[in-house]
């Protein structure tokens, strides 16, 4: 058995023996669906520096630029579809193996793949809708896009007049406390923490693998590049997520 098949078989056995898996996903699982990541060379932030939350709040110009960027990315985001990695994760949830998916991604592809909303903890929010920062009203993007294309401006809430922003967590914006708490609780209680496509460098989310290990869970990491937590893992696979996970979840 070659090294790749041996690692996939190890992963299959880990999945089979586990009863309460927590799946943690980063940008690497979605790049396989054609969505560019943010941090890598050539990524989104190498072309446009991220807009800080305080700049969004204080500057009409920055709010307009933020919306311009979102709609410029719209075609890529709207056309992206779940890949074999997302579908394999969904199968783990549907079979009762995985208790939840904790994700740093904002693309909603886990839900598209079949993971129920209540099983997905989106630490950085979701880019497919917007919210009023004052009253919390939800807004769909299509009407905002149509109005923006006719007259580029920063939308405001039709209820309270508050600023409307995509439902994502920006630089300088507080992480959602309830979701962080839920993610920690799930991590503490898992028996296998499966990290997919995350460099595991962005805290506090990157601390979850450490929490899992401290609570006697096994740790498996699939990521094309080295991560800061490889030394803690029971299994590390440096390869594409989709082919490896699909083969482990549904072996021939």
Q: How many CB atoms lie within 10 A of CB 69?
A: 16
Q: Residue 172: what are its φ and ψ, rounded to 5°? A: 85, -5
Distance, in Å, from the CA atom of 29 to the CA atom of 34, rounded to the nearest integer, reads 10
CB within 8 A of 221, min separation 6: which ones?
195, 200, 209, 227, 229, 230, 233, 235, 236, 237
129 is a catalytic site residue:
no
SS3 135: coil
Report whether 205 contacts 122 (CB < 8 A): no
Characterise 172 by phi-psi region: left (phi > 0), alpha (psi -120 to 50), beta (else).
left
Distance, in Å, from the CA atom of 171 to the CA atom of 81, rounded to the nearest integer, reads 26
Q: Which of 110, 124, 181, 238 is catalytic?
A: 124
- Residue 159 is classified by DSSP as T
The gap between the terminal CA atoms of the chain, to the nearest Å, is 15
Cα four-point dihedral sign 191, 197, 199, 204: negative
Which residues are part of the catalytic machinery? 124
């Amino acid at each position: 058995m070659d090294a790749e098949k041996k690692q996939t078989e190890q992963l299959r056995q880990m999945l089979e023996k586990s009863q309460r898996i927590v799946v943690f996903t980063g940008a690497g699982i979605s790049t396989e669906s054609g969505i560019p990541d943010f941090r890598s060379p050539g990524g989104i932030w190498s072309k446009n520096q991220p807009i800080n939350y305080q700049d969004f709040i204080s500057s009409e110009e920055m709010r307009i630029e933020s919306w311009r960027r979102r709609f410029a990315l719209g075609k890529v985001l709207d056309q992206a579809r779940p890949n074999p990695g997302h579908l394999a994760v969904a199968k783990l949830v549907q079979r009762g193996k995985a208790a939840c998916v904790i994700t740093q991604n904002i693309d909603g592809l886990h839900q598209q793949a079949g993971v129920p909303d209540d099983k997905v903890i989106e630490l950085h929010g979701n880019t497919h809708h917007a919210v009023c920062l004052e009253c919390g009203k939800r807004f769909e993007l299509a009407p905002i896009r149509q109005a923006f294309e006719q007259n580029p401006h920063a939308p405001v809430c039709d209820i309270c007049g508050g600023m409307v922003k995509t439902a994502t967590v920006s630089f300088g914006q507080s992480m959602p406390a309830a979701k962080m708490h839920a993610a920690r609780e799930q991590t503490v209680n898992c028996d296998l923490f499966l990290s997919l496509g995350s460099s595991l460098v962005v805290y506090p989310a990157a601390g979850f693998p450490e929490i899992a290990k401290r609570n006697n869970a096994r740790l498996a990491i699939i990521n094309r590049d080295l991560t800061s937590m490889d030394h803690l893992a029971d299994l590390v696979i440096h390869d594409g997520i989709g082919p490896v996970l699909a083969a482990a979840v549904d072996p021939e």
